[in-house]
Structure 1
């Protein structure tokens, strides 16, 4: 079976710290795969809030996740402090990708690489819409 690959960006524009909680641990005693999406969701909400956005209001448009991919690099354990770095890239007419680098804050060991794809959505009209120009311009410039 072919392995998925995520080409991580060279430059990240946001960083936050999140603890690995006991509820994030699976029966194997390490960070559970299903909790990775929850952790990047929290980091993404913090990132958007820093720009006065929310997942339901990015310049009047909402976001809907279209796909996600995770590459596991190492284990994370209860009590570890995760550093989550975020980049926004790969813009198209209707959306873009968010990239997340999860690493142990204390050891710098990479825990996971994650990519989530999003399209912009008009929740009143229930349809996909174009990427807001202000959002795109802000992050295309920061990625350079």
Structure 2
């Protein structure tokens, strides 16, 4: 079976947050369980969006890809670096690099697709015009793409 490969641009991360692996996050093999990693990625995404004034009520996750590189164990402090890429008319990808700062180990890379969604009408909607302006760190990178939206 082909392995999943995530390829991110140079230095695409503009936000970081720390999360601790709880005892309840580990599985029978005593490392961070897949379902707990998904929850931690969701928390990092929500923190980033909140920090930049974007309501999580305005978006819906369309997919998630995660590539594991090393194990994390209970009480490990993990750093979740977050960025944006592949924006389009309706959304894009939120990307993650998860490391253990204590020893610099890369734990995982992840990419979460999203679109803007109008829940009352149950329809995907165009990205709000002011969305990209909330992220000054990436405005230069996406200026030409945003002008094509």
Runs of at least 5 residues in structure 2 that lack an aligned partner in the other structure: 143-149
The answer to whether the 8 A contact 2:52-2:134 is kept is: no
Given that residues 23 and 74 in structure 2 are in contact (C-alpha distance below 8 angstroms), is that contact kept between their aligned partners in structure 1?
yes
Alpha-carbon distance, 1:142 to partner: 5.8
Are the equivalent residues in 2 in contact too, given 1:8–1:113 (CA < 8 A)? no
Residue 48 in 1 paired to residue 49 in 2? yes
Q: Distance in 1 between matches of 2:15 and 2:28?
A: 32
Which one has a larger percent helix, Structure 1 or Structure 2? 2
Tell me the equivalent position of 1:66.
62
Provide the alpha-carbon RMSD of the alignment. 1.4
Which consecutive residues of structure 1, in runs of 5 or more, have no partner in the other structure?
57-61
Corresponding residue pairs, total: 139
Question: Matched residues in 1 for 2:93 and 2:106: separation?
Answer: 20
Note if contact 1:84-1:100 (Cα within 8 Å) is conserved in structure 2: yes
Q: If the length of structure 2 is used for normalisation, what is the TM-score?
A: 0.88
The 4+ residue runs of structure 1 with deviation greater than 4 A are: none
